[in-house]
Amino acid sequence: MYEPSEDSFLLKKHIKDFCKPTPSFSVLDLGTGSGILAFEAAKYSKNVTASDIDEELIKDLKRQHNQKNVNNINLKKSKTSLQKVGIKKIKFIHSDLFSNIKGRFDLIIFNPPYLPTKTIKTKDLITNSSDIKKTIKNSDDAIENKKIIKNNYKYIDLDGGKNGTEIIERFLKDAKKYLKKGGSVLLLTSSLNKNIEKLFKKYKCEYKLLEEEKFFFEKLYVWVLR
């Protein structure tokens, strides 16, 4: 599971401004990972769907979320009202991008895997995945660790394909079909993704840069697309 990092926090900052509390307002968080962005959206909108290609992760999120709701219901029995604690149902779906997604949304949030394959190092994987950290803690042998990582992790959190834009391009190709009229996409990209604006134009997206920030070896960008 991808541990929330600078990219997650940068995108998270903008979610509030794009959410509405009206019952029909719907949000989709694609590639939800830890669920950090979906949970943020659920603070401001009632109808949130979160999806990821990682099936185990989605099962885990469903379990955790149901547990949270049960705890909230117990609170209701005490003096705190259900509304006050903000109980909200997030719908979790296992999906390769839009493959299992139905309907249209007012807001689609996507923090995609965007690293070009060749730039991914074992080091990045260890830093970014709590699952790997847990696994390798139980093994002192460096060669054994490398084997574990190579065999068990397909870099799905980070690997954006050859130029880092393959997943982004697949996303852009279909995103409009899942947006309601007047809806928006919040998308995070990196300076490692060359010619990103060319891709936006190719898929006829109107785009505006909301924020950019420099981190170590790259710049991160938050875009709104329509």
- For 128, residues 6+ apart whose C-beta sits below 8 A from its C-beta are 2, 3, 5, 157, 158
Binders of ligand SAM among 54-73, rule CB under 6 A? Answer: 54
Q: How far is the CB of 207 from ligand SAM (least distance, A)?
A: 20
Does the protein bind ligand SAM through residue 40 (CB under 6 A)?
no
Q: How far is the CB of 202 from ligand SAM (least distance, A)?
A: 19
Give the interface segment with ligand SAM, choosing from 29-37, 58-66, 79-87, 177-185 (CB under 6 A).
29-37
| Of residues 77 and 177, the one with the C-beta less far from ligand SAM | 177
Beta-sheet pairing, 218-225 with 207-215: antiparallel
Task: List residues bridging with 218 in a β-sheet.
Answer: 215
| Of residues 11 and 205, the one with the C-beta less far from ligand SAM | 11
From candidates 40, 52, 106, 218, binder to ligand SAM by CB under 6 A: 52
Distances (CA, A) of 160 to 10, 79, 81, 117, 138: 19, 48, 44, 7, 29
Does the protein bind ligand SAM through residue 53 (CB under 6 A)?
yes
Binders of ligand SAM among 160-199, rule CB under 6 A? Answer: 167
Beta-sheet pairing, 105-110 with 207-215: unpaired
Give the interface segment with ligand SAM, choosing from 18-26, 52-60, 135-143, 194-202 (CB under 6 A).
52-60
- For 91, residues 6+ apart whose C-beta sits below 8 A from its C-beta are 48, 49, 50
| Of residues 79 and 102, the one with the C-beta less far from ligand SAM | 102
Does the protein bind ligand SAM through residue 30 (CB under 6 A)?
yes
| Of residues 5 and 69, the one with the C-beta less far from ligand SAM | 5
From candidates 40, 106, 157, 218, binder to ligand SAM by CB under 6 A: 157
- For 52, residues 6+ apart whose C-beta sits below 8 A from its C-beta are 30, 31, 32, 33, 58, 61, 94, 95
Q: How far is the CB of 138 from ligand SAM (least distance, A)?
A: 23
Binders of ligand SAM among 95-114, rule CB under 6 A? Answer: 96-97, 111-113
Q: Which residues bind ligand SAM (CB under 6 A)?
A: 2, 4, 8, 30-34, 36-37, 52-54, 96-97, 111-113, 156-157, 167
